């Protein structure tokens, strides 16, 4: 695959923000502060860099992701992707799709406890990203959770559908994936899409508490090797879909779109 021209990266949204990591004991918090936290190549690289650094610290047992303000993540950077499609730069789109899917699977099989602390809207790709965490909590007074691709004339890669089926009930798959329903925090609780809904000021604390319930204080932490092996076994089918993707499928999310 051709290398990406730097000019193709200049129009990515969130270029004036950043993704940073801070630590609370054995918990690492990835705070996304890039406006709507639209997902593009820069977003993928920043999250991967954060994970690389976190995994170097052997004392860390838990990763929490969160945003700032109105959005947890408003999904893929469609304006950027649309510009690439209009410019005939399918190789850049294909590179992004592949790296973005690899990130979803990496989070799904991360050998740590993972919690998505959704401070605001989690839309489309942002909602998918939350599903790749072990646990999900939402701000109880702000934000929709929605897989709204059907309203955008976009397709779901088979890998994303497999992730959804591993996380959601048949009813939530129907209403969420097929019909693109928007869920409030309380509705998402009822459909078991998320685990808790709390005030925004308590999001990080609630995420920490979930990790403590998995491994209470005074008990032995789950080894990364054991947890990683278990996630690899449980999500083996999703990983195989990633490995077996064909070159022609690498821009499939946008194959029939009108961006």
Per-position DSSP letters for 32-70, written without gaps between them: EESTTT-BSHHHHHHHHHHHHHHHH-TT--EEEEE-BTT
Q: What confidence score (pLDDT) does residue 1 get?
A: 44
- Residue-wise pLDDT for 47-80, tens only, equals 999 999 999 999 999 999 999 999 999 999 999 9
Here the tokens at position 102 are 């690899």
Counting residues of the chain whose pLDDT is more than 70, the rounded percentage is 88
Q: Is 103 helix (H, G, I), strand (E, B) or coil?
A: helix
Pairwise CA distance, residues 42 & 17, whole Å: 11
Q: What confidence score (pLDDT) does residue 47 get?
A: 96
In a domain, 5, yes or no: no
Closest CA to 9 of 35, 47, 45: 45
In a domain, 249, yes or no: yes
Of residues 8 and 23, more confidently modeled: 23
In a domain, 139, yes or no: yes
Computed over every residue of the chain, the mean pLDDT equals 90
In a domain, 234, yes or no: yes
In a domain, 79, yes or no: yes
In a domain, 259, yes or no: no
Longest Cα separation, the chain: 57
Q: Give the CATH number of the domain where residue 31 resides.
A: 3.90.226.10
Confidence category of residue 253, pLDDT binned at 50, 70, 90: low
Of residues 14 and 171, more confidently modeled: 171
Q: Which domain holds residue 231?
A: 10-254
Here the tokens at position 129 are 């990203």
In a domain, 2, yes or no: no
Q: Are 28 and 116 in contact (CB under 8 A)?
A: no
In a domain, 4, yes or no: no
Q: Among 113-127, 163-177, 219-233, which stretch is predicted with the lowest mean pLDDT?
A: 219-233
Q: Is pLDDT above 80 for 217? A: no
Q: What confidence score (pLDDT) does residue 219 get?
A: 76
Confidence category of residue 252, pLDDT binned at 50, 70, 90: low
How many Cβ atoms from other residues are within 10 Å of residue 57's Cβ? Answer: 11
- Residue-wise pLDDT for 117-150, tens only, equals 999 999 999 999 999 999 999 999 999 999 999 9
Query: Which whole number is the average pLDDT over 83-101?
Result: 91
Here the tokens at position 197 are 């809904």
Here the tokens at position 93 are 């789109």
In our burial notation (b when 16+ CB lie closer than 10 A, e otherwise), range 18-45 reads ebebeeeebbbbbbbebbbbbbbbbbbe
Number of domains in the chain: 1
Q: What confidence score (pLDDT) does residue 256 get?
A: 45
Q: Is 161 helix (H, G, I), strand (E, B) or coil?
A: helix
């Amino acid at each position: 695959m051709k290398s990406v021209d730097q000019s193709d990266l200049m129009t990515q949204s969130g270029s004036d923000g950043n993704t940073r990591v801070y630590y609370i004991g054995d918990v690492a918090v990835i705070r996304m502060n890039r406006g709507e936290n639209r997902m593009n190549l820069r977003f993928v690289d920043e999250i991967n860099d954060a994970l690389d650094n976190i995994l170097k610290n052997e004392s860390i047992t838990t990763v929490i992701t969160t945003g700032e303000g109105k959005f947890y993540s408003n999904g893929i950077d469609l304006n950027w992707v649309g510009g690439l499609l209009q410019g005939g730069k399918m190789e850049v789109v294909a590179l992004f799709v592949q790296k973005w899917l690899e990130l979803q699977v990496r989070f799904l099989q991360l050998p740590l406890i993972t919690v998505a602390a959704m401070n605001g809207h989690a839309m489309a790709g942002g909602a998918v990203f939350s599903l790749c965490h072990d646990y999900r909590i939402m701000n109880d007074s702000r934000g929709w959770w929605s897989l709204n691709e059907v309203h955008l004339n976009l397709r779901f890669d088979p890998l994303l559908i497999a992730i959804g089926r591993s996380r959601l009930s048949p009813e939530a798959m129907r209403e969420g994936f097929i019909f693109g329903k928007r869920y409030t925090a309380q509705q998402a609780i009822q459909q078991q899409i998320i685990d808790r809904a709390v005030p925004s000021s308590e999001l990080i604390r609630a995420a920490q508490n979930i990790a403590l319930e998995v491994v209470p204080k005074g008990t032995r932490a789950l080894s990364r090797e054991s947890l990683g092996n278990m996630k690899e076994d449980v999500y083996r089918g999703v990983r195989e879909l990633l490995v077996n993707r064909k070159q022609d499928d690498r821009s499939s999310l946008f194959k029939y779109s009108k961006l």
